[in-house]
Amino acid sequence: MSPKIYLIVATDLKRGIGLKGKLPWHLPGDMAFFKKMTIHTDDIQYRNMVVMGRVTWESIPEKHRPMAGRKNVVITRNKDYKVDEGVVIAHSLPQALKAADERVADIFIIGGSKVFEEAMKRSKVDGIYLTRIKKAFQCDRFFPKIPNAYYPEKIGEGMDEGVEYEFLLYKKRKRKPVAKKRSSRPRKKRASSS
Ligand SMILES: NC(=O)c1ccc[n+]([C@@H]2O[C@H](COP(=O)([O-])OP(=O)(O)OC[C@H]3O[C@@H](n4cnc5c(N)ncnc54)[C@H](OP(=O)(O)O)[C@@H]3O)[C@@H](O)[C@H]2O)c1
């Protein structure tokens, strides 16, 4: 089966996600949630793949990258961009998604804003893990509006240093089956048996 594609993001009350190349907040509980969700696979023979833009990659402290236990893919237009051994470079989102080999369970697109936007428009996104932070921060990067085709389910909550947040999973609505069109031709009357 082909891997499912998820977005995973934390947003503030105004859909803000970043400021000056960094996260605007420090929420260890959300970081732990991110790690758990992106690492977990039902079968240990598989691992997940994380896909990110070059700026997001550079925002990860060097000691934490590449993200352990996951296949790391970085998107850049720069053909000479160098990354650590084992990290895959892609020059477009479709190319990044193609890096999923047979050992990849799920794909997590982890940002930033342009990559999220492109994924929402062009890819088959199966679900969105969204941490909704119940506070407004100064931000210069934002998450796109989530289309109506997705609905949220609360899957948890947390609080760090007085900042509350909830974990939501946006799932895709199932399409209603299309009703069969009735023929406009008048039905033939059954012959009466009497
Ligand atoms: N709150 C959250 O959950 C969350 C998650 C992730 C990131 N963030 C924050 O968001 C900010 C970073 O996001 P960002 O939007 O500025 O940058 P980004 O999406 O991480 O990276 C942008 C770069 O990715 C490359 N890229 C993007 N789309 C591409 C495409 N279609 N084809 C080829 N290359 C492509 C380009 O790299 P080149 O310039 O090298 O060509 C582009 O400049 C930071 O503040 C970070 O902390 C927050």
What is the tens place of the pLDDT at every residue in 46-80? 999 999 999 999 999 999 999 999 999 999 999 99
Q: How far is the CA of 194 from the centre of ligand 1 (A)?
A: 78
Q: How far is the CA of 52 from the centre of ligand 1 (A)?
A: 7
Specify the DSSP element, H or E, that contains 150: strand 150-160
- Which residue's CA is the nearest one to ligand 1's atom 4? 17
158 or 179, greater pLDDT: 158
State the CATH class of domain 4-172. alpha beta
pLDDT at 148 over 70: yes
Give the residue from 24, 12, 20 showing the smallest Cα distance to 136: 12
DSSP state of 27: -
Beta-sheet pairing, 141-142 with 127-133: unpaired
pLDDT confidence tier of residue 149, bands split at 50, 70 and 90: very high
Paired tokens of 184: 């406009």
Give the residue from 55, 157, 165 showing the smallest Cα distance to 110: 55
Phi/psi of residue 71, nearest 5 degrees: -80, 120
Query: Domain ranges in the chain?
Result: 4-172
Which tens digits make up the pLDDT trace of 80-107? 999 989 999 999 999 999 999 999 999 9
Ligand 1 atom nearest residue 91's Cα: 33
Q: How far is the CA of 26 from the centre of ligand 1 (A)?
A: 19
- Give the whole-angstrom CA distance, residue 150 versus residue 125: 10
Give the residue from 107, 100, 58 showing the smallest Cα distance to 78: 58
pLDDT confidence tier of residue 184, bands split at 50, 70 and 90: low
Q: What is the mean pLDDT of residues 126-144?
A: 98
pLDDT at 193 over 50: no
The neighbour count for residue 102, using CB atoms within 10 Å, is: 6
Asked whether the whole model's pTM tops 0.85, one would answer yes
Q: What is the pLDDT of residue 122?
A: 80
pLDDT confidence tier of residue 22, bands split at 50, 70 and 90: very high
117 Cβ below 6 A of ligand 1: no
